[in-house]
Structure 1
Amino acid sequence: MSESAVNTNNKIIKMATITESLQIASKHHRANDLTKAEQVYRQILEKQPNHPEALYGLGILSQQVGKFQNAEQLLNALLQIQPNSVKGWFSLGNLHQAQSQLPAAVEAYQQAIALQTDSAPLYNNLGYTLQLQGKWEEAVACYQKALELQPNCTEAEANLGNALHAQGKLSCQQQAQYAALNNQLGRSRQQAKDLKNAVACYRTAIALQPDFLDAYYNLGVALQEQGDLEEALVSYQKVLELNPDNGEIYLKLGKIYQDQKKLSEAISAYQQGLKLINPHYLKAFVADAGTEKAEEVPITPELPQEEVIVRNYKFPKIPAVAASEKKRPFWSVVIPAYKRTDYLLECLASVLAQWTGEEEMEILVMDNASTPPLFDLVNAIGRGIVSYYRNSQNIGLAGNHNTGIILSRGQWIHILHDDDYVLPGFYSQLKESLENCSDSVGAAFTGFDNINEKGVFLSKGDIFYWYGENRGIIQNWLLQIGVTNPLRPSAIVIRRQTYEKIGGYCSELSDLNGWELCKRIATFYDCWYEPKILACYRLDTSLYAQKMSNELFATGNHAVFLRRAIEITESYLPADLCTEITTNARSYNFEYLLENRVIFPLMSGNMTGALRILQEALKIDRSPEAVAKLFAWLTKDEAAPLRNEIAAKLLAIPQENIPDNIPIELKSPQTAIAP
């Protein structure tokens, strides 16, 4: 083969890799997983700095996250390479418009129109920019041109109506029509996470129709998501003026008061909302109103601490439910809690809204020795329904989980952490699937959303990308969960008999005990997947939470737990799958530590923590391939401090400790890992 042919083939391979990377970046971008999308876009631009699609994608992403200067640089770089890029000029116009740089926006839109004269969105956006400059007649002409090109363009039609309204040219009937259009457009903008324009649309709808209840509601939701809580309160109060029996609004008020640390107001709002939306709750609330309030905080009873052996490893035993004439509920919802009050009311309210009586569901709050106790807060909205237990001392996360499971009587158990919550339909939809499913099913899970500390959507849970809409028993689940965990506790329910057979949570694995339990379940049972998004898992992105997370990873303890989770699982995996799963788990998690976790101690200058993570990574996978990856990683700029540290340690070894003649023995490549 000629040298030119080799070069051509290499180029094709590189282009194929970049094309695949761009598809991955676009997928993350569409899913609003902006961090991952940005990483991949930047990786592409490292290899090809002038790649137009990567420049465009990263430019749009930069605008989304408010990095306007960076976005402008990227879009201008794209237009230097492709001056006839319509989407480049269009996006640059949108960027200028968002920053109120209106003349520059007009110029960019006109450049785009000169290249593509039949685009309704271009004329619409140009019209809106002209409208913002008070050029009404020119704006109206642009909107009419957009509608001529695309008669069903809702945005252009709404903008035309708004322009005519500003000039006093609409009848009352037309005002109502355009109010509905603006409300529809606002929902579309909100779904696209364009909250600024969504709020503007809702306000316009209200200006056109001052008694438009749906627009007030949508405006409140958008403002709340923006973090403008006081304005959201005003909007929600207006909804209640128009419809005093709207229970959902009271729940949203409760969430706002909770975020503002106004717990008394939050309790009152949650109570009122739950009474309005759930007749079962109302009945229980009224029945309990006349009973005497408990003076003493209930203490968790002493429970036997026994073990069950699964193949070669011991786990905490979960005894069977004691015989009783009382019917067992279908659900036991166990809410572990410790000190935190930030989200507990919201978590409880999400469950209580779906509570249909004690015959169907029991709710247990397991307070892990909080000081002061959480009893009064739980009782405020859960009295007469929720069973509260307070441990006399902190027994750890796994111990608290297991205690709640032992105290439960339900057929299926849901461990719901106090900062997470479920969405409407979680319990009813899962029950519909589970009450008729095979006894081979030991656990089930739903789709879920990742949210931040303010409750704002961040991304869909990874399980959505794994299985999409494929409802039912997951095939080859063990091969996948055995390598990494895409699940979160809020989305998982487990049959109580499963716990009774294979035991509870392993206490030595800290935050990875859930992954190990899922692997243990998958070894002996089938797992059911309910694809709808029915739960929310909170990722605290605050600076304090990031600091605490960084400190956890900086110690290297997480890497130790990861290694032990793999080793424990290896003790009970099926013989025919054990080698495959363990090898894949070791390889995957070696790379995970190398690419995602060593950086935390490095950022803080903690060389000891970084070296410990590398040490644990090599204990996980010491194969020649892993060692080669480690040496390749050490050549990166970010690893420079660690390279220097390793070199210093080597130089510090006393000369007399190094033998003059080091015998070399050729061995076959090592593939097995000694714990």
Structure 2
Amino acid sequence: MATIIEALQLARQHYQANHLAEAERIYRKILAKQPDLPEALYGLAMLRQQVGQLKEAEELLNAILLIQPDSAKTWFSLGNLHQTQGQLSKAEAAYQQAIAHKPDSASLYNNLGYTLQLQDKLDEAANCYQKALELQPNCVEADANLGNILHFQNRLSIEQQAYYAQLNYKLGIARQEARNCQDAIVYYRQAIALQPDWLNAYYNLALTLQAEGEFTEAIANYEKILELNPRHTEVYFHLGKIYNDQNKLPQAISAYQQGLKLTNPHYSKVFQASETVPEVPVTPPLFQGEVIVGNYKFPQILPVSADEKQRPFWTVVIPAYKRTKHLLECLASVLRQWPGEEEMEILVMDNASTPPLFDLVNAIGKGIVHYYRNSENLGVIGNHNAGLTLSRGQWIHILHDDDYILPGFYSQLKQSLDGCSDSIGAAFTGFENIDEVGIVISQGDIVRWYGEKGGIIPNWLLEIGVTNPLRPPAIVIRRATHERLGGYCPELSDLDGWELCKRIATFYDCWYEPGILAYYRLDTSLHTNKMSNDLFLTGNHAVFLRRAIEISESYFPPNICAEITAKARRYNFKYLIERRVVLPLKAGKVNGALRMIQEALKIDPSPQAVEHLFAWLTTNDAAPLRDEIASTVLLSNNWDNMPNMPAIIPSESKHLQTAIAP
């Protein structure tokens, strides 16, 4: 860091990008050199408050006030901190101090007013709101808060109630979009108090309560909506999800059934006329052939029989194994878009779950969903390929049982793909990443890359050959593509989707359909999904990454093969070192981290990569590794004896001695 100013700027950039660990590291490094620097103390205080370390945040703010007792910004932040903890008298005192040093701030008067209001000091609160409006006539928060006090005092006309209800509703939306859910809930409740029959306010309040896990009140608000409008279909899907999250499966099934019947007349007609299948269907024997692409063999997907009179446009394959938590939500997202059996078949491939998932699938998919249960577990890849083999549709969508798609996914894609050129072998949409409870974490990279511009992606192989910006629920593949190139690679228990996308992009064009039409559920904890956990903690993720690069190198076009592969090796080396090695280290799995480093060096053994590794070894993240490497690998001359460990160029050894020096 050249200067303290540059370091502060870098820390703020990390904070704004939500890279909190890196921002904290920089702030603490600054404070180690200048312990009394107010800007660094303040930045660290805001960061610690965001991660819930409120006591430390308060200590940091008080430390600033010892240095700068007239800092209105610091008093204001301290007041906010006290208010969020319900320490209203302390918050009131802090806001008064802030106003003493900055008496022209409408925000300060508004926040002081709200603190007074929470203490039932309504006249004092009203005076603060009026002062805020004098200073800033367009201060919406102060205007709404003043109206809420007047309503409590029965001093509003009907017209004024409608005005202030609208004001509170708009503020609720703004807070909801800013993910300040608790404030949004307060504003929505106030909008309903002012206008008790406002359906949209109930709906947004219920959504926010659901996102916050306050299920009982969310259900009450959804039920109020159904009193006002029994045909509000979205409510049934939200109720289905809540009951499913609470493991109240009968109520979840009933809600999903009702929502699907109201939403989709095709579903309603077939579901009500169908009889329950008495026995669990078993996956029939499947053909097992091979096709060769490059130097590798892939499972063969035979063409659909010529005897088929009419093939559906879509086959949706939902692989499943044991998990039931999100399966109903996944199925419902497809069934609400089901256009009839002539247009779409839906296959659930149960990979030998015990007990079978048949009853759960049949509860909302009766007569529509074709359920198959494998007599033995085929593995993830084997189950995917079994679904491909059984499919009859012209286009295949593999949708994992914990992901789901949004209304319009199939209709928009069909509009673009129906009758399209045979050169198009696959298509994908925009998507967002969600967490375990369905909260959006981030937007998929593909949206940032291509935005709202749809069509055939030019030079797509140059992009997908280096890294994979796609996620499975957003991708559909023409069945004829599989018939030519085969199914998923059995050798890859991870990154099989990336390899398949590279294989397709080598021989076909790919279509991009703009818009957010799919949700991909990330395993943010690495604890809920044992397979993901093991892949990262053992270092096996890096093994499969290396193999995916090696396999595609055998079939890339000769004129650009070297260029794509070299970029892939450089990019993925850095990806492993900078973003993935830390996962096993945090879990105390040093051997897993070492194996990941070994594989990273096989991916890119260049001197530049080695130098990058040595530089990384000097960081705090690498601390658990340094002694291990020094004592067991390098200083004892055992590097070459490590399994599959590539040799290091001797001239590089002096760099490592520097990196691991005490």
* Greater shift in the superposed pair: 463-472 or 295-304: 463-472
Matches of 1:668 and 1:555, distance apart in 2: 27
Give the unaligned 5+ runs of structure 1: 1-9, 29-33, 658-663, 670-675
| Contact residue 207 and residue 218 of structure 2 kept, 8 A | yes
Matched, 1:282 2:264: no
Shift of 1:224: 0.9
Shift of 1:178: 2.1
Matches of 1:105 and 1:440, distance apart in 2: 65
| Contact residue 41 and residue 54 of structure 1 kept, 8 A | no
| Contact residue 97 and residue 105 of structure 1 kept, 8 A | yes
Q: How does 1:633-672 map to 2 (within 5 A)?
A: 633-649=616-632
1:190 counterpart SS class: helix
Q: How does 1:461-500 map to 2 (within 5 A)?
A: 461-500=444-483
Gap change, CA 1:230 and 1:286, over 3 Å in 2: same
* Greater shift in the superposed pair: 133-142 or 296-305: 133-142
* Greater shift in the superposed pair: 222-231 or 100-109: 100-109
Gap change, CA 1:474 and 1:90, over 3 Å in 2: farther
TM-score between both structures, scaled by the size of structure 2 = 0.88
| Corresponding position of 2:173 | 187
| Contact residue 224 and residue 232 of structure 1 kept, 8 A | yes
Matched, 1:196 2:182: yes
| Corresponding position of 1:66 | 52
| Corresponding position of 2:20 | 38
Matched, 1:341 2:327: no
Give the unaligned 5+ runs of structure 2: 642-647, 654-662
Matches of 2:442 and 2:135, distance apart in 1: 35
Shift of 1:341: 0.9
Matched, 1:295 2:295: no
Matches of 2:257 and 2:49, distance apart in 1: 41
1:224 counterpart SS class: helix
**Corresponding residue to 1:329 among 288, 296, 312:** 312
| Cα deviation 1:644-665 (Å, max 9, x = unaligned) | 33333356679xx9xxxxxx99
Shift of 1:53: 7.1
Shift of 1:261: 0.9
Matches of 1:82 and 1:619, distance apart in 2: 54
Matches of 1:404 and 1:505, distance apart in 2: 11
Shift of 1:16: 6.6
TM-score between both structures, scaled by the size of structure 1 = 0.87
| Cα deviation 1:49-76 (Å, max 9, x = unaligned) | 4787776565445434433234445555
Gap change, CA 1:307 and 1:182, over 3 Å in 2: same
| Contact residue 453 and residue 542 of structure 1 kept, 8 A | no
| Corresponding position of 2:207 | 221
Amino acid at match of 2:461: L
Matched, 1:381 2:384: no
Shift of 1:501: 2.2
Matches of 2:360 and 2:649, distance apart in 1: 68
Amino acid at match of 1:186: G
* Greater shift in the superposed pair: 367-376 or 450-459: 450-459
2:491 counterpart SS class: helix
**Corresponding residue to 1:569 among 538, 552, 560:** 552
2:282 counterpart SS class: coil
| Corresponding position of 1:269 | 255
Shift of 1:526: 2.4
| Corresponding position of 1:244 | 230
Shift of 1:260: 1.0
Q: How does 1:121-140 map to 2 (within 5 A)?
A: 121-140=107-126
| Contact residue 506 and residue 513 of structure 1 kept, 8 A | yes
Amino acid at match of 2:390: L
| Corresponding position of 1:7 | none
| Corresponding position of 1:146 | 132
Amino acid at match of 1:195: C
Matched, 1:537 2:523: no
Shift of 1:356: 1.7
What CA RMSD, in Å, does the superposition of the two structures yield over aligned residues? 3.1
| Cα deviation 1:568-613 (Å, max 9, x = unaligned) | 1111112222222222222222222223333344344444333222
1:545 counterpart SS class: coil
Amino acid at match of 1:580: E
| Cα deviation 1:337-396 (Å, max 9, x = unaligned) | 011111110100011111121222221111111111111111110111111111111111
Amino acid at match of 1:194: N
Matches of 1:514 and 1:543, distance apart in 2: 20
Matches of 2:346 and 2:517, distance apart in 1: 18
Amino acid at match of 1:627: V
Gap change, CA 1:540 and 1:622, over 3 Å in 2: closer
Q: How many residues align?
A: 640
Gap change, CA 1:114 and 1:551, over 3 Å in 2: same
Q: How does 1:79-90 map to 2 (within 5 A)?
A: 88-90=74-76
